[in-house]
Amino acid sequence: MSVLVDIQHVSKQYKEAPKPAVSDLSMTIEKGDVFGLLGPNGAGKTTLISMLCGLFPPSSGTIFINGHTHQTHSKASKQAIGVVPQEIALYLKLTAWENLNFLGHMYGLKGASLKENIKQHLSVLGLEANMHQKISSYSGGMKRRVNLIAGLLHNPQLLILDEPTVGVDVQSKQAIIDHLKKMNRENGMTILYTSHHLDEAEDFCNYIGIIDHGTLITQGKTKELIAQNNCSSIEEVYLKITGNNFRDK
């Protein structure tokens, strides 16, 4: 498989912070992988994802997405990415259809293919009957599902998911994970997934990276990582590597 994301010696130092949020981090994500990026609060996950999305540049190092950097080929690298933020990044006063139609156009999609695409995703995730209702009237699970569709509309090469199932019921969680697996299997979509649901990460991701204090501590195929550390689950591996101390005290 070829490399889709190549992160080379990336560091990020915020002006007022005593230590870098990300420090000399290197890693790759291959096309078709479901990569679980795990780490405690303040480990540097959000900073790394923000740089991957092109929100701000690294202080040093380079990030290549499909061979392009945000600094030199912003349009191409951004077009390759789909983002599903942890927050419900939708307009509550608009309907699901209006939200997705707007965001689809912002990705440069249009016409019948966009409409068909929206309908298909809504149908698969059980939202077709409610698509003309305002988002404000939706349950938490329904909002999460629309939030996910918004990142999938342009069929990105890399889908970045930040806690996509937080605060939803089991049924919605299952629907979301199943849909993501289908997109990965059928479209070859590469997924970068962050979550604190470690059992979900173990089930969903074929590759895991654990980040702490701004550096990548370990990475590997999920099953191999468990075996290498003589553990029975990713949660055990995670606690073994990052310790039991609180990080957000």
Only segment of 22-30, 98-106, 181-189, 233-241 that touches another protein (CB under 8 A): 98-106
* Side-chain half-sphere exposure of 211, counting CA atoms within 13 A: 26
The token duo for 243 is 């310790």
**Least distance to another protein from the beta carbon of 158, Å?**
11
Only segment of 33-41, 70-78, 205-213, 240-248 that touches another protein (CB under 8 A): 70-78
Task: For the segment 37-66, give every residue that binds another protein (CB under 8 A).
Answer: 53-57
**Least distance to another protein from the beta carbon of 50, Å?**
8
How far apart, in whole angstroms, are the C-alpha atoms of residue 156 and residue 40? 27
**For residues 193 and 238, which CB has a smaller minimum distance to another protein in the complex?**
193
Task: For the segment 130-189, give every residue that binds another protein (CB under 8 A).
Answer: 134, 150-151
Residue 143 identity: K
CB 73 within 8 A of CB 64: no
**For residues 151 and 209, which CB has a smaller minimum distance to another protein in the complex?**
151
126 binds another protein (CB under 8 A): no
**Least distance to another protein from the beta carbon of 191, Å?**
15
Task: For the segment 77-96, give every residue that binds another protein (CB under 8 A).
Answer: 78-79, 81, 83, 85-91, 93-94
**For residues 95 and 222, which CB has a smaller minimum distance to another protein in the complex?**
95
**Least distance to another protein from the beta carbon of 84, Å?**
8
How far apart, in whole angstroms, are the C-alpha atoms of residue 104 and residue 3? 27
Residues that bind another protein (CB under 8 A): 14-16, 53-57, 74-75, 78-79, 81, 83, 85-91, 93-94, 98, 101-103, 105-108, 110, 134, 150-151
